């Protein structure tokens, strides 16, 4: 689907929800997409992208940045602590802060580097054992811990279970953010971003609807 169609759908969802135009940021998820497709979307003027692997992002974004210096790339997949410093050099935001050890590593490297990407805390709203994220019952404490370390916590992120109505998870994430005074909500993907916007998403992560099905590596 053309990028302009996705943007029109976002604008309509914002209006339907009574939200200000432009209040939702579109993260174009470019993981595993051929470089020509990513380049086409850059050439259309889009500047905010999402990647789920540090290694993959390191392989393509430094080159794209030479041509498009104002691009912003967000890490939306898991981060191993030993790749944190590399991630600081690649991403303007990290959406997958999900455990105290990682938060402490980010705080230490932020001190050393003198800057820190915007952070989103990932919440495992479906309490799925195979999925990353802090459990909902531990979220308030972990958010507090991150704020006490002066980390720039921008908001929360979730990936709902595939077989459940995502709106329940979006509503839960919004509730946890609200009671902790956090404004950012990274939620909604190709199949459900309009529902996420209705429930307050500030960042939607849309891949296949923009780029087409991912070509497996
Ligand atoms: C791949 C991915 C997306 C995009 O998924 P689509 O269904 O292709 O829109 C969003 N968020 C995360 C965390 C992802 O890994």
Angle among Cα 62, 95, 160 to the nearest 5 degrees reads 130
Distance from chain centroid for Cα 134: 15
Distance 207 CA to ligand 1 centre (A): 6
**Beta strand pairing call for 153-157 and 48-51:** unpaired
Q: What would the DSSP string read from start to end of 130-155? A: TS-SB-HHHHHHHHHHHHHTT--EEE
CA of 121 to the centre of ligand 1 (A): 17
User: Tens-of-pLDDT digits for all 217 residues of the chain?
Assistant: 889 999 999 999 999 999 999 999 999 999 999 999 999 999 999 999 999 999 999 999 999 999 999 999 999 999 999 999 999 999 999 999 999 999 999 999 999 999 999 999 999 999 999 999 999 999 999 999 999 999 999 999 999 999 999 999 999 999 999 999 999 999 999 999 999 999 999 999 999 999 988 766 5
Where do we find the tokens 């979006």? 170
For ligand 1, the distance from its centroid to the CA atom of residue 111, given in whole angstroms, is 31
Minimum CA distance residue for ligand 1 atom 4: 207
Q: How high is the pLDDT of residue 72?
A: 98
Structure tokens at 4: 């302009």
Closest ligand 1 atom to Cα of 95: 13
CA of 192 to the centre of ligand 1 (A): 11
Give the burial class of 106: count Cβ atoms within 10 A of its Cβ; 0-12 exposed, 13-18 middle, 19 or more buried.
Answer: buried
- The domains found in the chain, sorted by start residue, are 3-211 (3.20.20.10)
Which ligand 1 atom is at minimum distance from the Cα of 209? 9
């Amino acid at each position: 689907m053309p990028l302009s169609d996705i943007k029109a759908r976002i604008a309509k969802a914002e209006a339907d929800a009574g939200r200000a135009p432009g209040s939702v940021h579109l993260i174009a998820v470019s993981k595993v997409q051929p470089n020509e497709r990513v380049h086409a979307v850059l050439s259309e003027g889009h500047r905010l992208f999402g990647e789920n692997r540090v290694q993959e992002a390191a392989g393509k974004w430094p080159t794209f940045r030479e041509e498009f210096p104002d691009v912003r790339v967000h890490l939306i997949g898991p981060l191993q602590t030993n790749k944190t410093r590399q991630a600081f050099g690649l991403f303007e935001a990290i959406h997958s802060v999900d455990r105290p050890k990682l938060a402490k590593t980010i705080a230490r490297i932020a001190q050393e580097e003198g800057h820190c990407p915007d952070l989103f805390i990932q919440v495992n709203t479906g309490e799925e054992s195979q999925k990353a994220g802090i459990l909902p019952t531990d979220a308030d404490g972990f958010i507090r811990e991150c704020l006490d370390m002066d980390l720039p916590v921008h908001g929360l992120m979730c990936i709902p279970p595939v077989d459940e109505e995502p709106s329940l998870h979006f509503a839960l994430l919004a509730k946890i953010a609200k009671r902790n005074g956090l404004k950012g909500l990274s939620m909604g993907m190709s199949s459900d971003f309009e529902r996420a916007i209705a429930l307050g998403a500030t960042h939607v992560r849309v891949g296949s609807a923009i780029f087409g099905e991912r070509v497996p590596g």
